[in-house]
């Protein structure tokens, strides 16, 4: 179970998260939605210690993440993987080396053994033939597939997807959606998905939380979101530019 408790985070005078609390039970897929700059990515990065909150606590099962040192965070990061918004493959490494890196560093496998395991992962996402290429040699969609392979290579219990379908063609987006669903259904993997993709949100989510002006505006099932009369939520899910929504300034 993941639990964010009263998280507050400000960058200079701009308060991005203001007393945000969320709990995600095991195996659930939670979509976090909101406008650009609403603090969605900032919130999920707290979970793996990439950002420290100004106030509040975060629990991953019984482990309080916020007080852990960088070294003590490594077991947490082994259990909780993250797929970044821009794939973030390492430019200087081949695709195989990218996927093998967590195996070498987290599991202590030899380069050869990690390479064998990494190749199996690349085969699963249909990227085995390109394993010797560098990230700059392939397109955005393929990079995202490799990034997902790298995130899943340690069989994590928790996965954070930061805008996983952004920039993908409809078929690739569909396969990512199916993968997120399958991870939950077959392996009880808990997923937090930051997304703007309304099609994915209503198709895959078990639960949705909308961040607005630093707070959780609505937390409920897809049905709750469809039925809500809140004008801000309605404006967002209907994609209307006109309405009561105040757009945040970028920090």
Partner 1 sequence: MAALRLFRDTWRWTFRGSLRRQSGPFARQLYEVGNRSVVFITVTLGVLGMISVFQVLIQVERILPEFSVVGPAFIQTMVREFAPTIAGLMIATRVGSGIAAEIGSMVVTEQVDALRLCNADPIDYLVVPRFWACVIQTVLLSVYGGLVGVCAGAVVAHYAWEIPWGTFFSLNLVGYSDVTSGLWKAAAYGMAIPIAASQAGLETSGGSEGVGTATTRAVVNASFCVVVLDFIISGLSFMLLLGK
- The binding site for partner 1 (CB under 8 A) comprises 45, 48, 50, 70, 74, 77-78, 81-82, 84-86, 88-92, 101-102, 105-106, 150
Q: Beta strands of the chain (E only): which ranges?
A: 2-11, 14-24, 29-33, 55-60, 63-64, 80-83, 158-162, 190-194, 207-212, 215-220
- The answer to whether residues 220 and 229 touch, using CB atoms and an 8 Å cutoff, is no
Q: Indicate the residue among 131 and 153 with the shorter CB distance to partner 1.
A: 153
Quote the least distance from Cβ 205 to partner 1, whole Å: 24
Say how many C-beta atoms besides its own lie within 10 A of residue 114's C-beta.
23
Q: Indicate the residue among 102 and 164 with the shorter CB distance to partner 1.
A: 102
Quote the least distance from Cβ 77 to partner 1, whole Å: 5
- The answer to whether residues 36 and 27 touch, using CB atoms and an 8 Å cutoff, is no
Q: Indicate the residue among 210 and 248 with the shorter CB distance to partner 1.
A: 248
List the beta bridge partners of residue 5.
57
Quote the least distance from Cβ 133 to partner 1, whole Å: 17
Quote the least distance from Cβ 106 to partner 1, whole Å: 5
Q: Indicate the residue among 38 and 82 with the shorter CB distance to partner 1.
A: 82
Quote the least distance from Cβ 62 to partner 1, whole Å: 21
Q: Over the range 190-206, which residues count as b (16 or more CB within 10 Å of their CB) and which as e?
A: bbbbbbbbeebbeebbb
Quote the least distance from Cβ 196 to partner 1, whole Å: 18
Q: Indicate the residue among 144 and 207 with the shorter CB distance to partner 1.
A: 144
* 158: nearest Cα among 30, 72, 17, 42: 30
Q: Indicate the residue among 77 and 207 with the shorter CB distance to partner 1.
A: 77
- The answer to whether residues 13 and 175 touch, using CB atoms and an 8 Å cutoff, is no
Q: Which two tokens stand for residue 210?
A: 């909308």
């Amino acid at each position: 179970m993941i639990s964010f408790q009263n998280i507050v985070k400000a960058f200079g005078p701009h308060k991005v998260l203001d007393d945000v609390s969320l709990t995600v039970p095991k195996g659930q897929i939670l979509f976090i939605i909101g406008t650009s700059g609403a603090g969605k990515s900032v919130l999920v990065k707290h979970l793996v210690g990439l950002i420290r909150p100004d106030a509040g606590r975060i629990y991953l099962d019984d482990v309080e993440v916020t007080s852990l040192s960088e070294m003590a965070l490594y077991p947490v990061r082994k259990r909780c993987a993250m797929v970044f918004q821009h794939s973030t493959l390492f430019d200087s490494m081949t695709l195989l080396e990218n996927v093998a890196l967590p195996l070498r560093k987290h599991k202590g496998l030899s380069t050869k053994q990690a390479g064998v395991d990494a190749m199996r992962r690349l085969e699963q996402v249909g990227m085995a033939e390109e394993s010797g290429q560098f990230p700059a040699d392939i397109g955005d969609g393929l990079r995202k597939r490799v990034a997902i392979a790298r995130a899943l290579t340690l069989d994590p219990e928790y996965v954070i997807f930061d805008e996983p379908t952004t920039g993908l063609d409809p078929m690739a987006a569909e396969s990512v959606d199916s993968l997120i669903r399958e991870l939950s259904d077959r392996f009880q993997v808990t997923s937090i998905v930051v997304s703007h993709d309304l099609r994915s949100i209503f198709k895959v989510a078990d639960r949705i939380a909308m961040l607005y002006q630093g707070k959780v505006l609505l937390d409920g099932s897809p049905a709750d979101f469809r039925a809500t009369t809140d004008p801000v939520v309605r404006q967002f899910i209907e994609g209307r530019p006109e309405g009561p929504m105040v757009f945040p300034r970028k920090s």
